[in-house]
């Protein structure tokens, strides 16, 4: 397991430490910092962003899994502030997808 520190602007969120798993897919585990969790609007932003990548992206939280491109599945994960989420991707743009979505999920506020 490799430890990587992504630097996200301090005014958006705390610096987050991620666990990456090598192999056929890439995984990153983080803690959601958004005080409101993932309600409809941030879930829609995550889904829209995930759809931009040539990768199969999934979110894992609270013992459940969701396609990162499906707003209702994301909301069904019940992600609140402090929830640990794993972003997993496989495909041509897996690295970009994981870093982008992990940065959005770790942010105190999700911006577009």
What is the set of active-site residues? 39
Q: What is the DSSP letter of 60?
A: E
Tokens 């630097």 -> residue = 7
Q: What is the distance between the alpha carbons of residues 93 and 52, in angstroms, rounded to a whole number?
A: 10
Q: Which long-range contacts (CB under 8 A, 24 or more apart) does 66-70 make?
A: 68/97, 68/101
Give Cβ neighbours of residue 66 (< 8 Å, ≥ 6 apart): 58, 59, 60, 73, 74, 76, 77
């Amino acid at each position: 397991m490799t430890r990587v520190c992504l630097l996200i602007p301090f005014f958006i969120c705390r610096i987050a430490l991620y666990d990456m798993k090598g192999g056929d897919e890439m995984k990153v585990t983080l803690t959601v910092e958004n005080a409101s969790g993932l309600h409809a609007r941030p879930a829609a932003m995550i889904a829209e962003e995930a759809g931009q990548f040539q990768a199969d992206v999934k979110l894992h939280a609270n013992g459940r899994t969701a396609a990162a491109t499906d707003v209702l599945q994301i909301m069904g994960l019940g992600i609140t502030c402090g929830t640990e989420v794993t972003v997993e991707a496989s495909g041509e743009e897996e690295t970009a997808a994981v870093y982008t979505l992990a940065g959005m999920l770790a942010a105190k506020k999700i911006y577009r």
